[in-house]
């Protein structure tokens, strides 16, 4: 089980670090900015989760492997050959960014739930889902704020809702099929909803007149 959880965490860390580093490239940041954005995206949600759960210091600081993996991944993305290829191929850039972000979202949503269960099996569904979603979206929100953008979850596609649905399914299945399968199903559902929402351009309702109205303010 420990190897399974560790593998998921490393995959999620790499995925979110790539997402953060690529955002840094798009914002024309230097290598330090790209590395920090990769680090924050990868570990930010976990830090928020641990603060909510009362885990101090947050687990990120117990073992430096996650921070090191995220920084090394971001530096790899900054390597001139990789960087220039990504910036020249817009379609590949957008596709890789989307896949990494969706994968990180799904994995860290269920990792958040697992961390809560490790503390207590008596937590209610609301808390389990809440910390799962915070773990999934927290790093991305920090990334977007540091990059000077409106957080992605507020403006485009079904994002946080995918995490919520995946977390709910994971929590409900946990008691019937066990944690490994529940985590895999929760991850898969979250990623699937993200992919479907992007393909079919699903968005939450928003007023179409808002831009014109704000121009008059």
pLDDT digits (tens, 9 = 90+) for 113-162: 999 998 887 889 999 999 999 999 999 999 999 999 888 787 766 888 99
Q: What is the pLDDT of residues 22-69, one digit of tens each?
A: 999 999 999 999 999 999 999 999 999 999 999 989 988 988 899 999
Cα separation, 72 vs 69, in Å, equals 5
Average pLDDT over residues 202-211: 69
pLDDT value for 70: 96
Encode the chain in three state secondary structure: CHHHHHHHHHHHHHHHHHHHHHHHHHCCCCHHHHHHHHHHHHHHHHHHHHHHHCCCCCHHHCCCHHHHHHHHHHHHHHCHHHHHHHHHCHHHHHHHHHHHHHHHHHHHHHHHHHHHHHHCCCCCHHHHHHHHHHHHHHHHHHHHHHCCCCCHHHCCCCCHHHHHHHHHHHHHHHHHHCHHHHHHHHHHHHHHHHHHHHHCCCCCCCCCCHHHHHHCC
Residue 156 CA, chain-centre distance (Å), reads: 15
pLDDT value for 150: 84
Q: What is the pLDDT of residues 86-121, one digit of tens each?
A: 888 888 898 998 999 999 999 999 999 999 998 887
Cα separation, 19 vs 100, in Å, equals 6
pLDDT value for 31: 94
Q: What is the mean pLDDT of the chain?
A: 89
Q: Is the pLDDT of residue 172 over 90?
A: yes
pLDDT value for 137: 94
Q: What is the CA radius of gyration of the chain?
A: 17
- The dihedral over CA atoms of 150, 154, 155, 158, expressed in degrees to the nearest 10, equals 140
Closest CA to 129 of 97, 96, 104, 166: 166
Q: Is the pLDDT of residue 164 over 60?
A: yes
Both tokens of 216, joined, read 């008059």
Give 121-126 contacts, CB < 8 A, sequence gap 24+.
125/168, 125/171, 125/172
Average pLDDT over residues 202-212: 67
């Amino acid at each position: 089980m420990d190897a399974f959880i560790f593998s998921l965490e490393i995959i999620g860390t790499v995925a979110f670090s790539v997402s953060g580093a690529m955002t840094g490239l798009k914002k024309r940041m230097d290598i330090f900015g790209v590395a920090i954005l990769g680090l924050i995206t990868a570990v930010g949600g976990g830090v928020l989760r641990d603060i909510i759960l009362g885990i101090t210091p947050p687990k990120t600081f117990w073992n430096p492997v996650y921070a090191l993996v995220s920084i090394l991944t971001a530096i790899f993305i900054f390597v001139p050959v990789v960087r220039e290829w990504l910036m020249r191929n817009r379609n590949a850039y957008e596709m890789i960014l989307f896949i990494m972000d969706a994968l990180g979202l799904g994995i860290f949503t269920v990792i958040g739930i697992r961390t809560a269960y490790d503390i207590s099996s008596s937590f209610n569904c609301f808390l389990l889902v809440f910390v799962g979603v915070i773990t999934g979206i927290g790093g991305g929100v920090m990334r977007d704020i540091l990059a000077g953008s409106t957080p992605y979850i507020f403006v485009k596609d079904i994002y946080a809702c995918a995490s919520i649905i995946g977390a709910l399914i994971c929590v409900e299945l946990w008691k019937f099929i066990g944690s490994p399968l529940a985590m895999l199903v929760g991850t898969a559902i979250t990623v699937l909803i993200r992919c479907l929402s992007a393909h079919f351009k699903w968005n939450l309702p928003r007023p179409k007149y808002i831009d014109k109205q704000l121009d008059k303010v």
